Amino acid sequence: MKLRFFATAVAALVFTGSVAFAEHSYEQKPGWLFPTIGAGRGNWEASVGLFLWSDEFKARNFQLRSELDLGPGLRLHSIVRTNREQDTLKGFSPILDEGYLEGYGFHESSTGTVSTSLRIGNVRYLHFPYPDSIAVFDQVPGISDLQGGDRTGYSGELLTVDYKHKTGLGLHATGINWDFGRDGGTQLIENYLYYNHNFGALHFETHVGGLALRPEPLGRKATGFNTFLGTKVGNYQVGLLYEKLKNQSAYTGLMVTFPQNYLTRAMGKVAFDYDRSPEGFAFQVPLASGKIGARIAKKAPVNGILVGEVKAERLRTYWQNGQVRNYYEHILSSWGEENKSDLVLVVEEQPWYLQSEALVSPHTNVGSWSALKTWEKDRQGPAQLSQTVIYRFYRVK
């Protein structure tokens, strides 16, 4: 019965509503773009993790997150955690879950877009530019470092280059020089060709080439392919993944993308997660937040003239034990003036919400109740939170 469920579900998708999978483009004039919200501007947030079940309550993972713009296409990012423990706030031994300097930019032409990013430091989130549906299934660095095991994530110099043609064809490569106490030399983490397109009611994606391995330790790759088919069902978007890499088990996956409503916004605000090992509910509760820099207003100034805008989307991903340990702000579009100190910046932040759940398992046979339970038992379940933010720049008369 291998792939019976997958094939049946794909057939069902073909006859379900129209496709609405968002494609995030970098809207800009031809040439290079190095986005900025102004040197010395940024934001910060303090939060604490909670874990509870019928017989236990734990506070953990107190963290201070910050994002600081240093100039066009250059920013500094950090998530400082107060200790190296999994389920307690006791002890004070700060570590950088993430801490890196990033230089990035985009080049637009009549045929497509080149996106480049160089991050130097400790990184726990690989996606750049905005992740497609297949990327949402990617393994999130684990928590073995909080259990006395090896460090997780990616430490060193991380370079990503992506080219997307107007037809939907593209080339993506990510390489790392392991550094800052991590051995491994210089290697490619992934290098593949990709294609994505809408065919009537179906959204189709495929990656072919060197793809990241899912079992830990992360940072390895193998040759193979994966394919995604999705569509819209009511207010939801659903899709199926199939992946086969050399000398690896075949993986199948199911992703559901949620609409924004009271429930998904409530879950997104506190990074809600249901965990199985140990069983319980996990949260990451915001305590305080603020803006960094000068000439930042809550609303448009009187007699102000809008002269520029940067639109971005912040993403956070997690799956294991509900530990939220990464954050990234994707630039989606930019126009006008932005890098002038005399401009007033107004920041519009929409609510965080639970954007998607992507379940993936090293099994293809789900044709019986027993097989389905095995599939679910061995699955990974990355969750993705999203927040849209718009930076508007005003010149005051």
- Give the 3-state DSSP-derived string for 313-356, with helices as H, strands as E and coil as C: EEEEEECCCCCCCCCEEEEEEEEECCCCCCCEEEEEECCCEEEE
Residue 90 belongs to what H/E stretch? Answer: none
Residue 11 vs residues 20, 110, 120: alpha-carbon distances, Å: 18, 36, 45
Q: Is the pLDDT of residue 5 over 50?
A: no
Percent of the chain whose pLDDT exceeds 70: 93
Question: To the nearest whole number, what is the mean pLDDT of the chain?
Answer: 91
Average pLDDT (342-346) is 94
The pLDDT of 356-385, averaged and rounded, is 93
pLDDT of residue 24: 58
Among the residue ranges 3-17, 36-50, 196-210, 287-301, the one predicted with the least confidence is 3-17
pLDDT at 201 over 60: yes
In the block, residue with structure tokens 């849209």:
388
From CA 104, how far away is CA 101, in angstroms rounded? Answer: 10
Tokens of residue 76, six digits? 């500094």
In this structure, are residues 309 and 334 in contact, taking their beta carbons and an 8 Å threshold?
Answer: yes
Whole-angstrom Cα distance, residue 237 to residue 235? 7
Look at residue 21 in the predicted model and tell me its pLDDT.
Answer: 54
What confidence tens digit (pLDDT) does each residue in 264-307 have?
A: 999 999 999 998 878 899 999 999 999 999 999 999 999 899 99
In the prediction, which pLDDT does 10 show? 44
Q: What is the distance, to the nearest Å, from the Cα of residue 186 to the centroid of all Cα atoms in its chain?
A: 24
* Exposure b/e, 295-316, CB count within 10 A at least 16 = b: bbeeeeeeebeebbbbbbbbbb
What was the pLDDT predicted at 381? 85
| CA-CA-CA-CA dihedral for 66, 68, 74, 78, to nearest 10 | -20
Is the Cα torsion angle 226, 271, 121, 103 positive or negative in sign? Answer: positive
Task: Provide the pLDDT confidence category of residue 12 given band limits of 50, 70 and 90.
Answer: very low
What element of type H or E holds 134? Answer: helix 133-136
Mean per-residue pLDDT, 195-200:
95
What amino acid occupies position 347? V
Residue-wise burial string across 3-27, b where 16 or more C-beta atoms lie within 10 A, e elsewhere: eebbeebbeebeeeeebebeeeebe
Across the range 194-211, mean pLDDT stands at: 96
Type of residue found at 68: L
Q: Is a pLDDT exceeding 70 seen at residue 2?
A: no
Dist. CA 146–CA 81, nearest whole Å = 11
Rounded to an integer, the average pLDDT of 185-214 is 96
Q: How many CB atoms lie within 10 A of CB 377?
A: 10
Burial class (CB in 10 A: 0-12, 13-18, 19+), 294: exposed
141 in Cβ contact with 325 (< 8 Å)? yes
What are the tokens at 29? 């004039």
pLDDT (average), residues 351-357: 97
In whole angstroms, how far apart are CA 321 and each of 136, 271, 282? 18, 12, 7
Q: Are strands 202-212 and 304-318 parallel, antiparallel or unpaired?
A: unpaired
Domain that holds residue 351: 4-396
Torsion of CA 58, 88, 68, 30, to 10 degrees: -70
Domain count, the chain: 1
Average pLDDT over residues 104-116: 96
According to DSSP, residue 295 is labeled S
- Max CA distance (Å), the chain: 71
Q: Is the pLDDT of residue 203 over 70?
A: yes
| Cα–Cα distance, 256 to 239 (Å, whole number) | 7
**Residue 339: pLDDT band with limits 50, 70, 90:** confident
Task: Work out the pLDDT band at 397, boundaries 50, 70, 90.
Answer: confident
pLDDT at 49 over 80: yes
> Contact, 172 vs 162, CB < 8 A?
yes
pLDDT, residue 276, reads 82
Report the pLDDT value the prediction gives residue 16, as an integer from 0 to 100: 43
Burial of 330: CB neighbours in 10 Å, binned 0-12, 13-18, 19+: middle
Cα gap 334→312, rounded to integer Å = 9
CB atoms closer than 10 angstroms to residue 331: 25
Q: Is the pLDDT of residue 350 over 50?
A: yes
